[in-house]
Structure 1
């Protein structure tokens, strides 16, 4: 039994009749009755699955409905039976609801008799929105922190007496990325250019993205965290903007070495889009070609209808998410790792070098080494 949709709940004729009756309830000033038997104008007894009487100020409009929860398509003979009941009981029109479709020729015949034909079916994956009702995905949340920052630089003293501590007090945070004290100057023209902390943050993001993309689903998709330790370097030799001016000295920076510790935190995402619904189905008219998506939330009485959009349009350029897809979320360089612990630890086999090229305040970064993880 297919339980990916909702029609399995209406497994027999009685349940299906109640379902169709519910579709008509609340549609204006109507009286809806199920499984009634009446004596027609010729004295014969006739049974109707669902009878709908709609009233206006001056008129009464009666619709007779047959419900066929069948495995086989509904034939023309059932249309004849319903047409006979409409005439004998003085009804205005009729409809047949089924889950199995209609035989060839039945649709044109029904149009001539003023009878509408409806198929009730489960939604397709496209109508749910790909990949369908049930989502089963994996999520990697990637974060990293930088440590052991070391500079390959030449310093020029700007004051008479050298300070006892000449280290560069550098911290990876957004405030320093906007601090003009960490702007780099051109060694050719003296012009102010890009920010050193901003470059470090951009390099952090580029390396973390490369590491994250190199890791697929691991540990059979279980919730786990993989730690990757990488030796990294920022190469400033291809840009003239590599002079940092501090109160005591000016540093001509060639390279910046550091260690990056990254965490790939894995979790599974399982979502049932229909979990809070009593049902969600498509009701298709084979006479008017109208399609209505009908759904009812669990615990509600009323059914919500909306006209279905055309799903047979060209697919977008981007590939839709597929079952088992891996989604990546990358944290900002300013987030860090905190006290998070890893289940597994890996080390990159190569130095990851980020080359900086810039003529002004907008640096161009490129990663010249691929991450090779030994876990």
Structure 2
């Protein structure tokens, strides 16, 4: 089964968070909150749920951006834009962005432009898209006598205590898991995986196993679509920074399949998101 076929609204929201977190890292953008527990209280006294809330600073002031995710089959209309606009006005958040897979109606586009709300399409590519964007992302072209070594974090084991290992065939399967904490808070399991991967990426030496434990007393692990749960108190993740040597005597190209396209409507920027999490921007020539 294709990874794309596993996409649902919750995974869509997590991927949106991942993309904005990755793209914003170099410019100082961080994720302040996301999901059902991310709420901001407005001047009206009303609390508003924000799908993804980012923040960045220019050294003097801090600016927040509220991102609304709509995993809809229909186009987003001006009613959704009006809702986001009113939340921005009530909370004092600097910027609003709507991310959807099915595009926007004409009135939605017009009203968003008037209210300075960013509009983004995040969806699977079509054959028409591939007329201007490739089906695959070219990672590198390796030529004769080139020494190419690629480093990346690799998960080796996820242990829930009592010799219970979480067995997943593909790391993207982890998007389907969430943790119910003792205080009742529901947290995507991939949050801990992302935190661990960032720790590994900071390491300088390859093939050195690193283990990190997260104490989560009286918690339960659930998988989407399955009613059974696993009771645990601590999750321990083991991994390492790996390095692959792609040096060869023949020329060849490393590619990764394009999974999703991300198009910013007003800024006219297009990004490709690969099945393995690689993000590239397609620059206009």
Q: What TM-score, normalized to structure 2?
A: 0.50
Q: Give yes or no for contact 2:262–2:273 (8 Å, CA) kept in 1.
A: no
Question: Which structure has the bigger radius of gyration?
Answer: 1
Counterpart selection for 2:282 from 291, 303, 307: 307
Query: Which residue matches 1:9?
Result: 6
Matched residue SS, 2:13: helix
CA shift in 2, pair 1:128/1:75, >3 Å: closer
Q: Which residue is equivalent to 2:273?
A: 295
Q: Deviations over 1:56-95 (max 9, x none)?
A: 2112111111000001111111101100111111111111
In angstroms, what is the RMSD of aligned CA positions?
A: 2.9
- Of structures 1 and 2, the one scoring higher in RCO (CA 8 A, sep 6+) is 1
Q: Does 1:30 align with 2:29?
A: yes
Structure 2 unaligned residues grouped into runs of 5+: 137-252
| Residue 106 (structure 1) shift | 1.0
Normalised by the length of structure 1, the TM-score is 0.39
Identify, as 1 or 2, the structure richer in helix: 2
Greater shift, 12-21 or 33-42, is seen at: 33-42
- Residues in 2 aligned to 1:274 and 1:9: alpha-carbon distance in whole angstroms: 25
Unaligned runs of 5+ in 1: 135-272, 311-375
CA distance in 2, matches of 1:89, 1:75: 22
The 1:308/1:43 distance shift into structure 2, 3 A limit, reads: same
Count of paired positions:
162
Offset from partner CA, 1:228-250 (integer Å, 9 cap, x none): xxxxxxxxxxxxxxxxxxxxxxx
Residues 107 and 287, structure 1, Cα contact 8 Å, conserved in 2: no
**Correspondence 1:281 to 2:238:** no
What is the DSSP-based 3-state SS (H/G/I as helix, E as strand, rest coil) of the residue aligned with 2:104?
A: coil
1:130-173 per-position Cα deviation (integer Å, ceiling 9, x unaligned): 9x849xxxxxxxxxxxxxxxxxxxxxxxxxxxxxxxxxxxxxxx
Q: Are the counterparts in 1 of residues 260 and 274 from structure 2 also a CA contact under 8 Å?
A: no
What SS does the corresponding residue of 1:53 show, helix, strand or coil? strand
**Distance change in 2, residues 1:56/1:309 (3 Å):** closer
Equivalent residues in 2 for 1:1-80 (5 A)?
Answer: 3=2, 7-10=4-7, 12-26=8-22, 27=24, 28-32=27-31, 33-35=33-35, 36-80=38-82
Do the aligned partners of 1:282 and 1:291 also contact (CA within 8 Å) in 2? no
Q: 1:274 Cα deviation (Å)? A: 11
- Runs ≥4 in structure 1, deviation > 4 angstroms? 126-130, 273-277
Q: Secondary structure at the match of 1:42?
A: coil
Residues 73 and 125 from structure 1, CA distance in 2 versus in 1: closer, same or farther, beyond 3 angstroms? closer
Return the match for 2:125 from 105, 113, 123: 123
The within-5 A match list for 1:93-104 is 93-104=95-106
Deviations, residues 111-137 of structure 1 (Å, cap 9, x unaligned): 11010111112233465579x849xxx
